[in-house]
Every structure is written in C-alpha cells, then in structure tokens.
C-alpha cells in the first residue's frame, strides 16, 4: 500500500487519489519556440530509475492537487508537499 501525504488530510491510501501525471515544465508559447522544442515539450517525460516529480489529485478526499517526488524503484515518497 502506498500512503500519500495530503497536506490537508494527512497520509491517505493511494486508492483515494487519482494520478495526475508527471510534472511538466510550463507550456511554452508555441509561436515562440521551434518545432523541435514544441515537440519536445509535448513528448518528453523524464523516465528515471529514481525519484520522479508527479501530481496526484485527492479525488475521493478533500479534492486538493498535490505534487510529490516518488522513487520509481521503491514507491518511497522522497519529498512530500508542504503541509
């Protein structure tokens, strides 16, 4: 079981959360970047053997969106959101 620390509700079972995908850089202005940079923004996600930065939605809880750093090898949450 993975417990995700919600800043509002405390540590809660992952089953209460919806996965929101990896944190992406801010959306660039498509007209201000090259095609290659734009495609890169759309396609590339870090896929590390180690911590990933990702978003979760406490959908079946308080409804807050939060970001954590989670280790892809262990599911350990290495960095929790500020309470």
Could you list the residues that contact Zn ion (CB under 5 A)? 6, 8-9, 58, 61-62
Task: Identify which of residues 67 and 72 has a Cβ nearer to Zn ion in the complex.
Answer: 67
Specify burial of residue 49 (Cβ count, 10 A radius: 0-12, 13-18, 19+): exposed
The yes or no reply on residue 37 touching other proteins (CB under 8 A) is no
Q: How far is CA 28 from CA 17, 45, 47, 52, 57, in A?
A: 28, 15, 21, 21, 24
Token representation of residue 49: 């053997």
Task: Identify which of residues 7 and 74 has a Cβ nearer to other proteins in the complex.
Answer: 74
Paired sense of beta strands 65-71 and 77-79, if any: antiparallel
Q: Give me the least distance between CB of 23 and Zn ion, in Å please.
A: 19
Using CB under 8 A, list all residues that contact other proteins: 1-2, 13-15, 18-19, 22, 36, 39, 42-45, 47, 49, 52, 54, 70, 72-75
């Amino acid at each position: 079981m993975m417990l995700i620390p919600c800043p509002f509700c405390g540590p809660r079972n992952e089953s209460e959360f919806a996965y929101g995908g990896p944190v992406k850089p801010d959306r660039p202005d498509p007209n201000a970047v090259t095609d290659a940079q734009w495609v890169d923004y759309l396609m590339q996600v870090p896929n590390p053997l180690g911590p990933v930065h990702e978003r979760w939605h406490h959908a079946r809880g308080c409804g807050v969106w939060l970001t954590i750093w989670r280790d892809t090898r262990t599911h350990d949450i290495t960095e929790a959101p500020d309470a």
